[in-house]
Chains A and B, each alone.
Chain A
Amino acid sequence: MRKLTLAATVALLTGAGGASAQTLSLVEVITSPPRTEQLRAMVDQFEAANPGVTVEITSLPWGQAFERLATMVQGGQTPDVVEMPDRWLSLYANAGQLVDLTPFLAEWDGTAELTDATKSFGSVISGQTHMIPYGFYLRAMFWNKKLFAEAGLDRAPETLQEFYDFSAKIAELDGKYGYCLRGGPGATNGYIMMMLNFLGENKYFNEDGTSTLDDPKAIEGLQFIVDMYQNGLVPRDSVNWGFNEIVAGFYSGTCAMLDQDPDALIAIKERMPAEDFAVAPMPLGPAGKSFPTIGYAGWSIFEASEHKDVAFDLIAHLSSREMNLEWSKFVGVIPIHVGAEQDPFFTGPNFEGWFVEINDDRWEPTSMPTYLEEFGYFADVVSIQGGQEALLGQRTAEEVATEWADYLTPAQQKWLAAQ
């Protein structure tokens, strides 16, 4: 950080060189070395087009990003631009920390090309926009064709009943399992999707703000996962599995199905021949519907920034059709512009599952209630601990689902009251 202030001071002192000499700080929160390199290259183009503007990138490792960024903001070292994941957006937006981008978007010529989802997901407070998403993470089902063939199967499951039966068949093979269950960090999506699938509605709360997660049908959804675990259709260790473990479980051939976002494709493609697996849409629930979770991240500007106009120019550059296409191919997300899926990169068989989900009514992408300030703790702690207790049989699915509903209901009611 000292380097940053130093750079700012130097820029100030040498301001004679050009009146527009400015240093923007950008914080990247989902970091990997090649990803930073890609971002750097895109930012370099921006610097080249805007002489006098320098952009400093600070990269935080995702595992510690939340507390590191919060500490930076608390300590007054607020960056100008930040890569904002969906689940923190509400926290920062409601605290008044982020710039409302609505007036900027009204003047930007790129706004018209954005998909509706892009515009609506950037807003957590009605009438205001605090982020331009850079892409969407959508769940679809990876399946291992070889393992399926060994178990005498030749297609992906279309319904949850088939999902269960196919898993059982594959689990009969020695040391193999049907599904790479995620019971550790990030398990929330899996539980929620299954609960909505059984509920048959893309609905987390009733009108009065009470949670639907303790609906008997939703509890059945949680019970479905618990049954799969307790009946040995998924690896015993999966109670602790996070992203790395489920992906390793899939490409090592330990478990035959994996629900993941397009970004997992990168890791899997490196280790599995493309013809050995495919990506199918998520299985349909008893009501004939399925609700794959959609996640997103994007670019936001901090209210504390002293260069808001230039900061918007930077995120407008990153959100341009050309840059965004490059970025979404690299990161593994569904791009944000109308018609971007026509690009040859996305038309291959490995992307089929995702585009079926987007284009067919039976699949309704669902966005978890990340606008609730309390949701981060629910996703990181409450749902993980409760889910593990249910999987291990320490508590019933009903007890756990009731606890979840009891946690989310007051949060939603507080949010409703504030609207």
Chain B
Amino acid sequence: MTGRAGRGTGRLALALEPWVYLSPALVMLGLVMFVPLVVGFTYAFQDIRLLNPLAGGWVGLKNFETLAGDKNFRVALVNTVWWTVGSVALQFLFGLGLAMLLNRAFWGKRLVQAVVFLPWAVPTFLSGLTFAWLLNPVIGPVPHWLFAMGILEEPYNILGNPDLAMWGPIAANVWFGVPFFAITLLAALQAIPSEMYESAAIDGATAWQGFVQVTLPYLAPMIAITVLLRTIWIANFADLIIVMTNGGPANATQILPSYIFTTAYRKLDFGYASAIAMALLLLLFLYAVLLHQMRKVFRSTA
């Protein structure tokens, strides 16, 4: 008898209830993700210098016009693709191999597992410095080994050669990132029911056929998600490059994040740095959409 009004507010309250429970999380998300994103976005259309906040103001698309004609930006863009594809591909291949090796019982497996996952725990700054010194012929052994194997014509530091320099940070990154792929893929491997391999064996499948027909399809969702995540992380990951080459020699290892860092903290041009960051964001967004579509297609055909 309290009537419709009472039931109406009750229904509204019911509809609102989940949002009330969610609100702390939503507010937090908005504060830590959305606000900085919007602020960064607005920076791209302004002239902002760190120690002189009053200088400049709104400049429209000027930063993006500069970007279009910026030779260093194009170099960094190509390097970013090269750095990301090289690192992810090698990390994935070695990670998969490692996961397959660890996915069987052998003596001392726990110890081996622990050791294999260690690089992931080493601070990147430290691994970057260590690799830089390993590649230095005055102190490190690697150039002398490469020379002895006939790969280098003399024992020099590949970080000083613009054609080879990118391999230094990539090598460090592969060493650092293999455990991540190994851990995630190992978990997925262990979830494959052994009956599948047994029935494949009964049907007369070879080891290679077992891998292609059973292992890979089961791993595919995990592979897609880890590759997606790692690609975005690595494309944004400038620590090793900053430590090992600082983008040099002559921009040969400059990637977009290190270029953004240099522009923001060396040139103190936050507006332009934000414009480059927007370009990188757009690129990664397009990549994520592409991968998402590929997964859809893959699923519908499977």
Asked if A249 and B248 make an inter-chain contact with CB atoms under 8 angstroms apart, the answer reads: no
Specify which chain A residues have a CB less than 8 angstroms from the CB of B250 in the assembled complex.
Answer: 385, 388-389, 392, 394
Q: Restricting to B179-212, which residues have a CB under 8 Å from any CB of A?
A: none
Query: A200: CB under 8 A from chain B?
Result: no
B138 partner, pick from A66, A249, A381, beta carbons under 8 A: A249
Say which one of B84-92, B96-104, B262-270 lies at the interface with A.
B262-270
A377 partner, pick from B139, B156, B157, B267, beta carbons under 8 A: B267
- Rounded to whole Å, the gap between the CB of B156 and the closest CB of chain A is 5
Asked if A381 and B262 make an inter-chain contact with CB atoms under 8 angstroms apart, the answer reads: yes
Q: How far is the CA of A384 from the CA of B248 in the complex (A)?
A: 9
Asked if B157 and A376 make an inter-chain contact with CB atoms under 8 angstroms apart, the answer reads: no
Query: Main SS of chain B's interface residues?
Result: loop
Asked if A67 and B51 make an inter-chain contact with CB atoms under 8 angstroms apart, the answer reads: no
- Rounded to whole Å, the gap between the CB of B130 and the closest CB of chain A is 14
A74 partner, pick from B50, B154, B157, beta carbons under 8 A: B50
Query: A154: CB under 8 A from chain B?
Result: no
B265 partner, pick from A66, A91, A388, A392, beta carbons under 8 A: A66
A377-B266, A381-B266 in contact; A240/B50 too (CB < 8 A)? no
Q: How far is the CA of A3 from the CA of B34 in the complex (A)?
A: 31
Specify which chain B residues have a CB less than 8 angstroms from the CB of A385 in the assembled complex.
Answer: 247-248, 250-251
Asked if A67 and B265 make an inter-chain contact with CB atoms under 8 angstroms apart, the answer reads: yes
Chain A 234-256: CB-based contact to B (< 8 A → 1; otherwise 0):
01111110000100110010100
Q: How far is the CA of A392 from the CA of B266 in the complex (A)?
A: 24
Query: A153: CB under 8 A from chain B?
Result: no
A239-B160, A381-B262, A381-B267 in contact; A91/B137 too (CB < 8 A)? no
Q: How far is the CA of A93 from the CA of B119 in the complex (A)?
A: 45
Chain B 14-54: CB-based contact to A (< 8 A → 1; otherwise 0):
00000000000000000000000000000000000011100
Specify which chain B residues have a CB less than 8 angstroms from the CB of A240 in the assembled complex.
Answer: 157, 159-160, 245, 248-249
- Rounded to whole Å, the gap between the CB of B103 and the closest CB of chain A is 41
Q: How far is the CA of A381 from the CA of B268 in the complex (A)?
A: 12
- Rounded to whole Å, the gap between the CB of A67 and the closest CB of chain B is 5
For chain A, the count of residues having a C-beta within 8 Å of the partner chain is 34
Query: B136: CB under 8 A from chain A?
Result: yes
Q: How far is the CA of A235 from the CA of B161 in the complex (A)?
A: 12
A237 partner, pick from B50, B157, B266, beta carbons under 8 A: B157
Specify which chain A residues have a CB less than 8 angstroms from the CB of B156 in the assembled complex.
Answer: 235-237
Q: Restricting to A157-187, which residues have a CB under 8 Å from any CB of B?
A: 183-185
Chain A 350-384: CB-based contact to B (< 8 A → 1; otherwise 0):
00000000000000000000000000110011001
Query: A70: CB under 8 A from chain B?
Result: yes
Asked if B52 and A95 make an inter-chain contact with CB atoms under 8 angstroms apart, the answer reads: yes
- Rounded to whole Å, the gap between the CB of A98 and the closest CB of chain B is 12
A67-B265, A240-B157, A381-B266 in contact; A392/B249 too (CB < 8 A)? yes
Specify which chain A residues have a CB less than 8 angstroms from the CB of B50 in the assembled complex.
Answer: 70, 74
Chain B residue nearest to A395 (CB atoms) is B250
Query: A92: CB under 8 A from chain B?
Result: yes
Q: How far is the CA of A269 from the CA of B136 in the complex (A)?
A: 22
Asked if B265 and A239 make an inter-chain contact with CB atoms under 8 angstroms apart, the answer reads: no
Asked if A388 and B52 make an inter-chain contact with CB atoms under 8 angstroms apart, the answer reads: no
Residue among A238, A240, A392 facing the most chain B CB atoms (10 A cut-off): A240
Asked if A392 and B245 make an inter-chain contact with CB atoms under 8 angstroms apart, the answer reads: no
Specify which chain A residues have a CB less than 8 angstroms from the CB of B162 in the assembled complex.
Answer: 392, 394
Q: How far is the CA of A305 from the CA of B160 in the complex (A)?
A: 45
Specify which chain B residues have a CB less than 8 angstroms from the CB of A66 in the assembled complex.
Answer: 265
Chain A 60-90: CB-based contact to B (< 8 A → 1; otherwise 0):
0000001100100110000000000000000
Specify which chain B residues have a CB less than 8 angstroms from the CB of A67 in the assembled complex.
Answer: 265
A183 partner, pick from B136, B161, B249, B251, beta carbons under 8 A: B249
Query: B246: CB under 8 A from chain A?
Result: yes
Specify which chain A residues have a CB less than 8 angstroms from the CB of B161 in the assembled complex.
Answer: 236
Asked if A248 and B138 make an inter-chain contact with CB atoms under 8 angstroms apart, the answer reads: yes
Specify which chain B residues have a CB less than 8 angstroms from the CB of A239 in the assembled complex.
Answer: 160, 248-249
Asked if A245 and B136 make an inter-chain contact with CB atoms under 8 angstroms apart, the answer reads: yes
Chain A 104-147: CB-based contact to B (< 8 A → 1; otherwise 0):
00000000000000000000000000000000000000000000
Specify which chain A residues have a CB less than 8 angstroms from the CB of B154 in the assembled complex.
Answer: 236
Residue among A97, A238, A394 facing the most chain B CB atoms (10 A cut-off): A394
Q: How far is the CA of A235 from the CA of B262 in the complex (A)?
A: 27
Q: How far is the CA of A239 from the CA of B162 in the complex (A)?
A: 10
Q: How far is the CA of A3 from the CA of B48 in the complex (A)?
A: 31
Asked if B139 and A248 make an inter-chain contact with CB atoms under 8 angstroms apart, the answer reads: yes
Residue among B156, B160, B251 facing the most chain A CB atoms (10 A cut-off): B160
Asked if A92 and B51 make an inter-chain contact with CB atoms under 8 angstroms apart, the answer reads: yes
Chain A residue nearest to B165 (CB atoms) is A240
Specify which chain A residues have a CB less than 8 angstroms from the CB of B267 in the assembled complex.
Answer: 377, 381
Specify which chain B residues have a CB less than 8 angstroms from the CB of A91 in the assembled complex.
Answer: 51
Asked if A184 and B248 make an inter-chain contact with CB atoms under 8 angstroms apart, the answer reads: yes
- Rounded to whole Å, the gap between the CB of B269 and the closest CB of chain A is 9
Q: How far is the CA of A97 from the CA of B265 in the complex (A)?
A: 19
Asked if A252 and B248 make an inter-chain contact with CB atoms under 8 angstroms apart, the answer reads: no
Chain B 252-271: CB-based contact to A (< 8 A → 1; otherwise 0):
00000000001001111000
Q: How far is the CA of A380 from the CA of B248 in the complex (A)?
A: 12
A237-B136, A377-B267, A388-B250 in contact; A70/B51 too (CB < 8 A)? yes
Specify which chain A residues have a CB less than 8 angstroms from the CB of B268 in the assembled complex.
Answer: 70, 376-377
Question: A235-B156, A236-B160 known; 19 other A-B pairs, CB under 8 Å?
Answer: A70-B265, A73-B51, A183-B160, A184-B246, A184-B248, A237-B157, A245-B138, A248-B138, A249-B138, A376-B268, A377-B268, A385-B247, A385-B248, A388-B248, A388-B250, A391-B249, A392-B162, A392-B249, A392-B250
Query: B: which residues have CB within 8 A of A?
Result: 50-52, 136-139, 154, 156-157, 159-162, 245-251, 262, 265-268
Closest 3 CB pairs of A and B: A237-B157, A388-B250, A237-B160
25 A-B pairs (CB sep. < 8 Å):
A66-B265, A73-B51, A95-B51, A183-B160, A184-B248, A184-B249, A236-B154, A236-B156, A236-B160, A236-B161, A237-B136, A237-B137, A237-B156, A237-B157, A240-B157, A240-B249, A252-B138, A254-B138, A376-B268, A377-B266, A377-B268, A380-B262, A384-B248, A392-B249, A394-B162
Query: A: which residues have CB within 8 A of B?
Result: 66-67, 70, 73-74, 91-92, 95, 97, 183-185, 235-240, 245, 248-249, 252, 254, 376-377, 380-381, 384-385, 388-389, 391-392, 394
